[in-house]
Structure 1
C-alpha cells in the first residue's frame, strides 16, 4: 500500500530529500513504573534531527538533549539528570540512528541504534506513518513510534529498593515518539 498526500495526491515514496524534525511539534516521552504501583512519565524538551529520503531508502539521525528531561517534579528531574541515571554533565546528548530500505503506510518496524551514556545498543521502533501534507508552503510528514528498553543495558543502574521489596524505579522504560518532519 502506498501512503498518499491527500492534498496533492503524491505517493510518500516520491518525497525524496532532506527532512528536519520540527521540535515544536514533536515529542520524545518516557515512562517507568514507580514503587511498583504507578506509572511516572516525563519528556525531553530539546531535540533535533534529520531524515534523508532517497528513492531506495532512508537514513535517520535524531539527537536529544539529556539535560532537557522534564517530569513535572524538580527533585525527580534532578535525579534523572544525575550520575545515577542520565549523567547529563558527562553525556549531554543521546542519539538514535537508523537506515531502512523504505517505509510504508500504517504500521512498520524501524531497526536502529540508540546511544545513551556512551553505550550503543540496537533497538526497534514500532512506527506508524501519519501521512504527508502541504501547509503554508511547507511539506510536512508525521510519524508515531514506540519502544521499550531495559535501562540497565545503557548503564542506568540505579537500584533503589523499597523496604518491603520491589524496585523504586522499574528497569523497563517505555518510549513514545511523536515526530513531525518538515521537508528542507
Structure 2
C-alpha cells in the first residue's frame, strides 16, 4: 500500500502527506547581519513549528514561532542589546512568527511564500526551499524530512535597530 505523497517533479521529491513537526534537536534558525566591516552571525535557540504536507503544493502550510529572547550571537552584551527596545524589544514583542500557505514551484525550485512578523510588523516574504531528503533515522524508526529555507529581509522594514528610525 502506498501512502499519499506530495510529488514535485522538478525536484524529484516525494514527501508523505501529513503534519511534520520541526525537531529543535536537529534544526537551527540562524541569521547574519552586516555590522561595521563584517558580518555578525547568530542563532535563535528556542522555536517551534509545523509543516502540513498535502498532495498539492498549493495546499501545504507552514507555521513557525521563534522566541526572540533566545537570540545568541556568542556575545552577552550584544545579545542583551538585541533583546532591548533598541532592536527586538522582547518585552513588548516576545516572538517572531512565520505563516505560509502552499509551496510554489519557481524556476525548477521550491518557494515558500508567507507572512513574517517581527516587532508586531507583518510583511510578505518568499523563502527559497531546498529539499534535503527523506529518511527513517529517528530513534523509533520514524520518518524525517530534511528541508532548508532561506530569505533575505531588511531589518528597517520591521522597525529593528537605529537604522529603522
Contact 2:42 2:73 in 1 (8 A): yes
Whether 1:84 and 2:86 are equivalent positions in the alignment is: yes
- Equivalent in 47, 72, 75 of residue 74 of structure 2: 72
Offset at 1:27?
Answer: 0.9
Contact 2:61 2:101 in 1 (8 A): yes
Distance 1:157 1:67 in 2: 16
Q: Which has the higher contact order (CA 8 A, sep 6+)?
A: 1
How many residues end up aligned between the 2 structures? Answer: 150
Partner of 2:132: 130
TM-score under structure 1 length normalisation: 0.76
Distance 1:140 1:102 in 2: 22
Q: Which runs of 5+ in 2 are unaligned?
A: 1-8
TM-score under structure 2 length normalisation: 0.84
Distance 1:74 1:152 in 2: 23
Offset at 1:145?
Answer: 1.7
Q: Which runs of 5+ in 1 are unaligned?
A: 5-10, 160-170, 172-184
Q: Specify the SS of the correspondent of 2:63.
A: strand
In structure 2, relative to structure 1, the CA distance for the partners of 1:150 and 1:38 (3 Å cut) is same
Whether 1:46 and 2:57 are equivalent positions in the alignment is: no
Runs of 4+ in 1 over 6 A off after TM superposition: none
**Deviation larger for 59-68 or 144-153:** 144-153
Offset at 1:38?
Answer: 0.7
